Structure 1
Amino acid sequence: MTTRTPLTLAVVGTGPRGVSVLERLAVRLDEQSRRDGCAPRPVRIYAIDAREVGAGRIWRTDQSPWYTMNTVAGQVTMYSGGPDGGPARPGAGPSLGEWLAGRRRPGERVPGPDDYAPRAVYGQYLRSVHRAVAGHLPPHAALESVTARVLSLTPADGGGYRLGLDRPPHTLLADRVLLATGHPLKEPDDAERALLDFARRHPGVRYVRGDSAADLEDELDETRVPPGAAVGVRGLGLSFHDVLLTLTVGRGGRYARDPGGALRYLPSGREPRIVAGSRGGLPIPARGRNEKSPGHRHQPLFLTAQALAAARARRARATGDGRLDFAEDVLPPLLRELDQVYWTALVRARSGPRRAARFAKRHAAAVRDGRDTAALLAREGLGGVPGLDPAALARPFAGEDFTGPGEFRDRLLRVMERDLAEAALGNVRGPRKAALDVLRDLRSAVRDAVDHGGLLPGSHRDAFAGRFLPLNSLLSAGPPAERVEQLHALIRQGLVEIAGPETVFAPDPAGGGFLVSSPRVRGSARTVAVLVDARIPTPDLRRDTAPLIRGLLRDGLIREFVTVGTDGERHRTGGLDVTPGSGQVVDAHGEPLPGVHALGIPTEHTRWFTQVGSGRPGAETGFHRDADRVAAALLLDGGERRGTPERGTPERRTTERRTPERRTPARTVEEMVV
């Protein structure tokens, strides 16, 4: 047995991102053991998690079963390769759907490939992947699980890093570290402080800050939210549905269908009274019924790597800077992708697949050439059919005023009914849901445009983060249609009230609670004793409460990703600054910190949509590429010198380059205002 000093790695956080790196580490270690003629250097890996090693906090296995994923089981995998007839192991394992099917007992019903699995079940799947990693490491490698919170990370004497833990063994030493710490808990901002202070001054009034639904359950139990109490809910996204489930099904209520097929909620009598709202006043629409195979991908025709490269070249020639304007360079081809799928699906529904295929080629060619497509649409009988309008779908009540809550409720129910009908058509045959589903497939192309300072600072802040992201989240990341149908039943039966557009949540000293109201709906004001923020906190390095992150910032070992405009304006993104490729963290001096990498949610804003929690079967995805790049960097043998670019890492775009601010044309941005 070799006596070489082991290479020691620490993976901090074992949700999907941490487990994905463990999986790729195992694949590379196995390849290393087969390739090297001499005994390879021993490797010890610490998998560290404060909640549950192998599942993490968000996907922990002890959470309530009514919290579900919003991606169908057949499109979820943690393995970087599919099954090959052998045992499940790193590089060759089942998707979540296949894993569930393999565990089915006679007579037992488990989620199928087009169903949405409970989050706790996904946590069990993650744990099974973790066990597969541990059970298939080569002899020179070992994996040790550590259930503890990492409180500090400091350089160790002689190299590497010392990790301080909140429980035994209290200290670990590692040569290299991955930070995959997941969703943060943040300090309240000024608006939240005002709500918290008001609640503290008024007995019986409570403000519940946003977090994962499983972590909010204790805050929403019957001792703190009694039956019949008035509860306000801020936000109508995915977490809103989780809060509703906690306060309804979680209290013994259930759903059943009446003889006519309509869904009804059968209350237990322990529910509170719920009033909710958001800026747009629309609960997040449903995902279309899945009609796609796990390996299905939309191949971009307009938002391509070549188109983005050409746009960068034009910008560089015109301004000396290749950063893009989202509204001018990215949004138009993205909308053309949606239009292409929308019109093609309509032709397919009217005239069949062969005619749709011919139409798709002609339509794409006309769009590329800049020709008017009106005549082409008219030949297909679509001359009078409205086009796809994402802004109208996201804000269906824009500019409307309502005489009372009843009028708004009826209007909202009709919008939800139409959405459910569209969802039932599917994400291939249904024109609207087919087009909006493409937003998921275009994430990689959008990342190529925006990651690591790819946009002009003002454009990133205003057009991308300020306008596009809320719309994209609303229209592309919806819940299963079942959840929207359940909410429809609750509203119809008067158990849940949606206040209306532009909902305001404010202290109400006279009423002794919080006031929930919509200025667009007369008579909508309601006073509630408990206000729940049903929005998952977005990462913000400066407000992160974790001792680990605070210490790293204080010691200058990490920094926030900042972009700078030509006028000197600094856009502070809130994201952890990392290098492209392997995600090596960047210190306060702008230099890559040797041996420390970050992946996933901590890097949000430096990169985009890092909360993705799985790969998709059948093809290499960005999720697995990210994991493999980090795994390769963690296993690099030999020293890394401070300030030396890491091997295989593309040259970074400096965040300190001053660039001219570009005004965003109203004609393109206002179409996407949400």
Structure 2
Amino acid sequence: MTALVIVGAGPRGTGLLERIAANAAELLPPDRPLAIHLVDPYPPGAGRVWRRDQSPLLRMNSMAEDVTMFTDERSTLDGPVRPGPSLAEWARRPEEFAPYREVADPAVRAELRALAPTDFPTRRAQSAYLDWVFRRAVADLPPHVTVTIHRDTARRIDGPADGPQTVHLTGRALTADHVVLTLGHLDSAPHPRHAADAEFAARHGRFHLPPAYSADVAGELAALAPGEPVVLRGLGLAAVDLVALLTEGRGGRFEPAGDGPALRYRPSGREPVLHLGSRRGVPYHAKTGYRLQGPPAPLPRYFDAAAVDALLATPGPLELRRDLWPSMAKEVAFGHYHELFHAHPERTALPWPAFLARYDRCAWYSPERAALVAEAVPDPADRIDFERLDQPLAGLALGSAEELQAHLRAYVAADADRRADPAHSADLGAFLALLSLFGQLPRVVASGRLTARSVAEEVDGWFSGYFNSLASGPPGFRLRQLLALSEAGVVRFLGAGVRVDRDEATGTWRASGATVPGHTVTATALIEGYLPQHALHRTLDPVLRQLHGAGRLVEEQLADREHTHRSGLVAIAPADGRLLDPALGGAPHPRRTALGPHTSLRAAAAFARPRTDAPAFRQNDAAARALLRSLAALPAEVLAA
């Protein structure tokens, strides 16, 4: 019998299992039985990050109808499309989708029954959906494929490249013909800049929390005293989660403030005082709470396979901002204006065909494009402005901390209002076009044509942060809550360009920002309010640490004459995810594969939206088909079992 070990049974491992089930009939003959072993200490389907055992205050940042684990008619892959319900469709009538099993938690059952397609579910609701997706994937496997779940941790992998692999768990060892690492989001030892703050906190008896997953550190937050001044560095999703746990999670409550969407916060008295700041100084833009008002834009149009082929055919090194961004920006703006012209034509001054014909001919950085937009879109508020979106506080210098609070409250309120108003649905058009960029961007990075500096500073640096701030923001109600917390004095904004220094004399941290020159806040606790960024050379995952130490996998390292970039990602073959093995001269290991955010095949770290041709589906499908072909071709005399 052929054996496959998948280490990591969360969403990525589940997605791979679904693709194995979809492709097995074609690629794995009935006379080649396959035993699949899934290894994960956390529940299969949900895994660590999406496990049910976490606070009901923690929410998804996607609407229920925008989350799917299934391919559909827009998916471009070699294997068969196997449609399935989105989270919203499944929650509406779970008993109609086999294999049915009633959700055990009555609170989650009640949430699912009441869940509207445009609601932002709790992570516990998503956990229930992922549990069902996993059970469906198992049920869809053919009879000659079996699955065994091991609630255990993989510690070590060894074995020859041309023979069976041994996966050592905490309690036993598994022999496999192939091993796949779908490890999901991982932890690393603290970066030196965080280690210095941890040592400072230990010396002075202070509280310090390095980047972490909110569900894992909820208990540690109890060490913060009521009223304690805390600097929380970061204004993305992790920061929003931590604020919720430290306010509503301590007994405070939100209530309506009048007839509109505004909220008022009633403190419990047990909250610390949270000083929030970041590089941009503003929260991530809220997710839109509406659907497109016009027809979907035909994406991609400018940053498609043909455009990337042409770029890769040009001689010389490439840079993202110089060579790719003009097409990428034009694509995102196309999505924005397509929705504006089709859904809100009364706010445009040209017919869409006339606009598009001229827009097609314009270079992004050209007076002609700027003049066309000014002519066709009279209101500047209806035009997309990438620089303003990226740095809304750039050049702003205020005279006092109170002026900053007022300015940020107005900014947050305006952003929440805009993202809740379908009159601004062009923002959603831009968001969908932004997602489409990941259809080609990983291919450009994998080509090796970008300079090392561009990958470091522009892909992994600027664009990653820009994408997150525009596309990975919290639900709109979170910004309303942040506004209420600010008005209640529980949250204080620090502005942009935040700097945090250690004061050895007082054992405190001193935080300042560029928006209010000269203003400083003193705090007795420091929280790094953003998600951990995995780095292979500092990984805490035992399997990756063992393989790296043994020289059997390599961290992606890009180098040219001017720059060297260590991305922290595990280097894999982009075509099928095989691990690149230094012991094999850097060639792909024939029996080891890795998929997910810890690998060099970059993708948006988000669940797939229906009908967007999500790259993760193509990656999972390609890996599953390569695995099945490889396993089916193994001679019977060399099988692991």
| Fold shared per TM-score above 0.5 | yes
Kept in 1, the 8 Å contact 2:359–2:372? The answer is no
**CA apart distance, 1:596:** 0.6
Q: Does the C-alpha gap of structure 1 residues 114 and 568 become closer, same or farther in structure 2, counting only changes over 3 Å?
A: same
Q: Which amino acid aligns with 1:546?
A: D
CA distance in 2, matches of 1:121, 1:245: 18
Q: Which amino acid aligns with 1:617?
A: P
**CA apart distance, 1:239:** 0.7
Match of 2:67 in 1: 76
Match of 2:505 in 1: 510
Q: What SS does the aligned partner of 1:200 have?
A: helix
Kept in 1, the 8 Å contact 2:61–2:472? The answer is yes
Match of 1:62 in 2: 53
**CA apart distance, 1:91:** 2.8
Match of 2:564 in 1: 570
* Aligned counterpart in structure 1 of residue 118 of structure 2, from 84, 104, 114: 114
Q: What SS does the aligned partner of 1:255 have?
A: strand
- After superposition, where does 1:154-553 map in structure 2 within 5 Å? 154-155=158-159, 159-166=163-170, 168=171, 170-203=172-205, 205-221=206-222, 224-261=223-260, 262-292=262-292, 296=296, 298-314=298-314, 316=315, 319=316, 323-347=317-341, 348-351=343-346, 356-367=351-362, 372-373=368-369, 376-377=372-373, 379-380=375-376, 382=378, 387-426=383-422, 429-522=424-517, 524-553=519-548
CA distance in 2, matches of 1:121, 1:106: 10
CA distance in 2, matches of 1:378, 1:78: 41
Q: What SS does the aligned partner of 1:611 have?
A: coil
Q: Which amino acid aligns with 1:331?
A: W
Q: Does the C-alpha gap of structure 1 residues 640 and 602 become closer, same or farther in structure 2, counting only changes over 3 Å?
A: farther
Match of 1:579 in 2: 573
Kept in 2, the 8 Å contact 1:21–1:627? The answer is yes
Matched, 1:129 2:133: yes
> RCO greater where, 1 or 2, for CA within 8 Å and sep 6 or more?
2
My pick for the range that moved more, 339-348 or 296-305, is 339-348
Q: What SS does the aligned partner of 1:372 have?
A: helix
Q: Does the C-alpha gap of structure 1 residues 294 and 507 become closer, same or farther in structure 2, counting only changes over 3 Å?
A: farther
Match of 1:622 in 2: 615
Match of 1:670 in 2: none
**CA apart distance, 1:243:** 0.2
* Aligned counterpart in structure 2 of residue 557 of structure 1, from 547, 552, 561: 552
CA distance in 2, matches of 1:186, 1:16: 20
My pick for the range that moved more, 346-355 or 582-591, is 346-355
Q: What SS does the aligned partner of 1:398 have?
A: coil
My pick for the range that moved more, 498-507 or 13-22, is 498-507
Q: Which amino acid aligns with 2:179?
A: V
Unpaired runs of 5+ in structure 2? 74-79, 96-108, 636-641
Q: What SS does the aligned partner of 1:442 have?
A: helix
CA distance in 2, matches of 1:28, 1:241: 40
Q: What SS does the aligned partner of 1:597 have?
A: strand
Q: Which amino acid aligns with 1:112?
A: A
**CA apart distance, 1:32:** 5.2
CA distance in 2, matches of 1:210, 1:473: 16
CA distance in 1, matches of 2:355, 2:265: 44
**CA apart distance, 1:292:** 3.7
**CA apart distance, 1:384:** 6.6
Kept in 2, the 8 Å contact 1:325–1:459? The answer is yes
Kept in 1, the 8 Å contact 2:161–2:591? The answer is no
TM-score by length of structure 1 reads: 0.84
CA distance in 2, matches of 1:627, 1:232: 40
Unpaired runs of 5+ in structure 1? 1-5, 83-88, 642-674
Q: Does the C-alpha gap of structure 1 residues 473 and 620 become closer, same or farther in structure 2, counting only changes over 3 Å?
A: closer
Match of 1:152 in 2: 156
Q: Does the C-alpha gap of structure 1 residues 381 and 76 become closer, same or farther in structure 2, counting only changes over 3 Å?
A: closer
**CA apart distance, 1:413:** 1.3
Q: Which amino acid aligns with 1:197?
A: E
Q: Which amino acid aligns with 2:618?
A: R
**CA apart distance, 1:472:** 1.9
**CA apart distance, 1:56:** 0.7
CA RMSD of aligned residues (A): 2.9
Q: Which amino acid aligns with 1:58?
A: V
My pick for the range that moved more, 157-166 or 62-71, is 157-166
CA distance in 2, matches of 1:433, 1:632: 34
**CA apart distance, 1:519:** 4.3
Kept in 2, the 8 Å contact 1:297–1:441? The answer is no
Among all aligned residue pairs of Structure 1 and Structure 2, give the percentage whose two residues are the same amino acid: 30
Kept in 2, the 8 Å contact 1:10–1:178? The answer is yes
Kept in 2, the 8 Å contact 1:391–1:471? The answer is no
Kept in 1, the 8 Å contact 2:418–2:424? The answer is no
Residues 153-192 of structure 1: CA distance to partner in whole angstroms, max 9, x if unpaired?
Answer: 11169822111112x3x21111111101111211122211
Kept in 2, the 8 Å contact 1:81–1:92? The answer is yes
Match of 1:99 in 2: 90
Length, aligned pairs only: 610
Residues 615-637 of structure 1: CA distance to partner in whole angstroms, max 9, x if unpaired?
Answer: 33346432211111111122223
Q: Does the C-alpha gap of structure 1 residues 110 and 521 become closer, same or farther in structure 2, counting only changes over 3 Å?
A: same
Q: Which amino acid aligns with 1:623?
A: A
**CA apart distance, 1:31:** 4.4
Residues 485-521 of structure 1: CA distance to partner in whole angstroms, max 9, x if unpaired?
Answer: 1111111221100112111122223333222222432
